[in-house]
Amino acid sequence: MKRIHLSSLALLLISALMSPSAQASERRFGYTYPTLTSPAGEVELENWLTWKSRPGAIRSLEVRHELEIGLTDKTQIGFSAVNWKYDARARGSSYQNTSVELIHNLSNPATDFLGSAVYGEISAGERSAAFEGKLLLEKRIGRWVIGWNGVFESEWEGDKFADFQESSGELGQTFGIAYDLTKSLSCGVEAVHKTSLEKWHAPRSSQLYCGPNVTFRRGHFFTGLTALFQTTNRTGDPSLQSRLMVGVEF
């Protein structure tokens, strides 16, 4: 566990130290994706640390290291070789899955009335597989940035990979609004709504999280912090989930 923690901190430190002079990522939110993709040939290392907690119940840290590559000026691919999780109750870390994502930009929020893109991700673990699709929308009005993602997810689980006995789905959406205080610093609010569908039947549960975020961009470096609080008061779900993002473009 300590080795995994040290490797994650090392990646975050490397990202923070490498900050050359051009403008950084377009990200303003922790959970809502932007519609613009990396230019052709550009490579970005993006790191996520997501902490989930509920007093006396849930405490976990989810870690994701993703390498994103611009295939064209409108299409980007991302690889996450090892997504892992630390569970405080189990006092240990475990491998979750490996994932590949593809984002294709349809319109530019800076030059068109509305920015848009489509997103697809496939992930596979030792006993699970999942597909996630998203429609990404973005609107810019002066210094204001408004983002919305519609989310569809299907997951299969079993005793071993490709021997799945259970299936479930999830429908959701994320929404964020941010204001650029300067060219480098933004702050705003974000909301995440999810509805779980066990075996794709009637909705099993619905959660709504809302909270503030702040992002900073300098050169090729960017970082952001989002803290979301549960407003639906479901006892089985985290009351707080916060995400720290650190990335660097090459």
**Would the pTM count as exceeding 0.85?**
yes
State residue 237's pLDDT score: 84
Q: What angle do CA 33, 64, 46 make, to 5 degrees?
A: 55
Q: Please enumerate in sequence order all residues whose Cβ is within 8 A of that of 195, keeping only pairs 6 or more positions apart, or say none.
A: 170, 171, 172, 203, 205, 206
State residue 19's pLDDT score: 42
What stretch of H or E contains 71? Answer: none
State residue 214's pLDDT score: 98
Which residue in 154, 157, 192, 156 sits closest to 170, CA to CA?
154
> Which long-range CB contacts under 8 A does 92-96 form with residues at least 24 apart?
92/1, 93/1, 93/4, 95/125, 95/126, 96/62, 96/125
- Over the chain (250 residues), the average pLDDT of each successive run of 10 is 49 47 70 96 95 81 95 97 86 90 97 98 93 98 97 91 84 97 96 88 83 94 96 85 93
CATH 3.40.50.300 fits 2-249, yes or no: no
Write out the two tokens for 232. Answer: 């639906």
State residue 7's pLDDT score: 53
